[in-house]
C-alpha cells in the first residue's frame, strides 16, 4: 500500500471509529431496540383483546334473550367511504355475526357475512373474507361453535394480513369496532331489559351475570386505548381515544370490588356510574356507525 492510500485508510478508519460515529450508532441501536419493544407490546395488547365471539357468547350463556334491534344495520355497509370507517364497521359487523351465531340465527348471520365481502375487498382483505370462508360458514350453519371459530379466524387473518402489510391503524380500527359493538350490545341489554316480565328477584338473577360481562371489559378498554395510541394518529383516532378515555373513567367510578365483597352486586344495577358507562358506550358506537 503506498503512503497516500495508507493515510486515506487511516482517515477513513479513524472517522468510522470516531466518538460521533459511535454515538450515532448507539442511538440507532437504541431506537431499533425501543421500536422492537413497542411492537412486542402492541402484539401483547392485540392478543389480550377479546375475539369477536367472546362477548356475544358470554351474553348467550347468561340466559339473556336475543335482541335484533341492537344489530348494526347491514344495509348501511355501503355508506362508509374512508378506511377508518370501513375498518371500524367491518369489526362491528363481525361481532354482530358472532352475536347472531351465538343465538343460532344462522341464516341472518350468513347474510351479514356475504355483505361484509365488499368492505373487506375495499380494505384489501379479500383473503380473510373470501368465497371459501363464506362457503365454510354456510356448511356449518348448524354449529354455533364452528361459526364462532370461523368468524374469529377471519378477523384474526385480517389482522395478521394488516400487520404484514404495515397497516397497523386499520388493524387497530378493526379491533376497536369489534370490541365496542360487543360492549354496546351487553350494556344495551341491561338498560333495555323489560321491567314487567319477571319479579325483581328473578330479574336480578339474570342481570347480575350480564353486569359481570360488562365489568370484565374494563381491562380491554385500557388495552384498546394503548393500542390506538401506538398507531399513526388522525382526527378520527384522536376522537375515538378521547371517547375511550371517558369510558375508562366511568369504569373507575364503579365500586365493584367492595359491592361484590359485601354480596351487594344487585346495587350495581342502580348505580348511576353504570348508566353513565352505558351512555358513553352508546355514544362511541354511534360515532362508529353513524
User: Quick one: pLDDT at residue 165?
Assistant: 86
User: Quick one: pLDDT at residue 94?
Assistant: 95
Residues 169 and 231: beta-carbon distance below 8 Å = yes
Please list, residue by residue across 168-191, b when 16 or more beta carbons sit within 10 angstroms of its beta carbon and e when fewer do.
Answer: bbbbbbbbbbbbbbbbbbbbbbbe
Work out the angle at residue 150's Cα, subtended by the Cα atoms of residues 149 and 156, and round it to the nearest 5 degrees: 85
Residue 4 lies in a domain: no
Answer yes or no: is pLDDT of 87 > 80: yes
What gap in Å lies between CA 173 and CA 125, rounded to an integer?
Answer: 14
Answer yes or no: is pLDDT of 4 > 50: no
Domain count across the chain: 1
Residue 24 lies in a domain: no
pLDDT band, very low/low/confident/very high, at 46 (cuts 50, 70, 90): low
What gap in Å lies between CA 33 and CA 37, rounded to an integer?
Answer: 6
Instruction: Give the position of cell 389482522.
Output: 159
User: Quick one: pLDDT at residue 287?
Assistant: 95
Residue 232 lies in a domain: yes
pTM beyond 0.95, yes or no: no
What gap in Å lies between CA 141 and CA 211, rounded to an integer?
Answer: 30
- Kindly state the percentage of the chain with pLDDT values over 90: 52
Residues 54 and 182: beta-carbon distance below 8 Å = yes
Answer yes or no: is pLDDT of 10 > 70: no
User: Quick one: pLDDT at residue 128?
Assistant: 85
Average pLDDT score over residue span 172-177 = 94
Torsion of CA 195, 201, 206, 207, to 10 degrees: 70
196 by Cβ neighbours in 10 Å (0-12 / 13-18 / 19+) ranks as exposed
User: Quick one: pLDDT at residue 205?
Assistant: 72
Show the cell assigned to 153. 379466524
Show the cell assigned to 22. 459511535
Range of the domain at 73: 47-289
Max mean pLDDT range (8-17, 131-140, 193-202, 207-216):
131-140
Residue 28 lies in a domain: no
Residue 262 lies in a domain: yes
Answer yes or no: is pLDDT of 241 > 50: yes
pLDDT band, very low/low/confident/very high, at 161 (cuts 50, 70, 90): confident
What gap in Å lies between CA 88 and CA 178, rounded to an integer?
Answer: 7
Residue 16 lies in a domain: no
Residue 67 lies in a domain: yes
Average pLDDT, the chain: 82
Query: Comparing C-alpha atoms, which of 196, 192, 208 is closest to residue 68?
Result: 192
Amino acid at each position: 500500500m503506498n503512503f497516500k492510500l495508507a493515510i486515506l485508510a487511516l482517515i477513513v478508519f479513524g472517522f468510522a471509529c470516531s466518538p460521533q460515529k459511535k454515538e450515532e450508532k448507539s442511538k440507532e441501536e437504541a431506537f431499533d431496540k425501543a421500536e422492537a419493544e413497542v411492537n412486542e407490546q402492541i402484539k401483547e395488547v392485540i392478543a389480550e383483546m377479546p375475539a369477536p365471539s367472546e362477548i356475544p357468547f358470554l351474553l348467550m350463556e347468561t340466559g339473556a334473550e336475543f335482541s335484533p334491534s341492537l344489530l348494526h344495520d347491514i344495509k348501511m355497509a355501503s355508506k362508509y367511504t374512508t378506511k377508518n370507517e370501513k375498518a371500524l364497521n367491518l369489526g362491528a359487523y363481525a361481532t354482530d355475526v358472532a352475536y347472531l351465531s351465538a343465538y343460532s340465527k344462522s341464516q341472518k348471520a350468513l347474510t351479514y357475512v356475504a355483505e361484509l365481502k365488499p368492505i373487506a375487498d375495499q380494505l384489501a382483505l379479500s383473503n380473510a373474507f373470501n368465497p371459501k370462508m363464506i362457503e365454510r360458514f354456510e356448511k356449518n350453519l348448524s354449529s354455533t361453535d364452528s361459526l364462532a371459530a370461523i368468524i374469529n379466524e377471519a378477523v384474526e387473518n385480517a389482522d395478521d394480513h394488516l400487520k404484514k402489510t404495515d397497516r397497523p391503524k386499520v388493524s387497530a380500527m378493526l379491533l376497536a369496532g369489534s370490541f365496542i359493538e360487543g360492549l354496546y350490545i351487553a350494556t344495551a341489554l341491561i338498560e333495555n331489559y323489560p321491567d314487567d316480565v319477571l319479579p325483581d328477584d328473578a330479574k336480578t338473577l339474570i342481570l347480575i351475570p350480564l353486569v359481570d360481562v360488562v365489568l370484565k371489559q374494563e381491562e380491554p378498554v385500557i388495552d384498546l386505548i394503548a393500542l390506538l395510541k401506538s398507531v399513526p394518529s388522525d382526527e378520527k383516532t384522536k376522537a375515538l381515544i378521547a371517547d375511550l378515555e371517558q369510558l375508562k373513567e366511568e369504569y373507575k367510578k364503579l365500586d365493584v370490588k367492595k359491592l361484590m365483597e359485601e354480596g351487594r352486586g344487585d346495587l350495581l344495577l342502580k348505580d348511576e356510574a353504570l348508566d353513565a358507562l352505558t351512555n358513553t358506550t352508546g355514544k362511541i358506537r354511534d360515532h362508529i356507525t353513524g
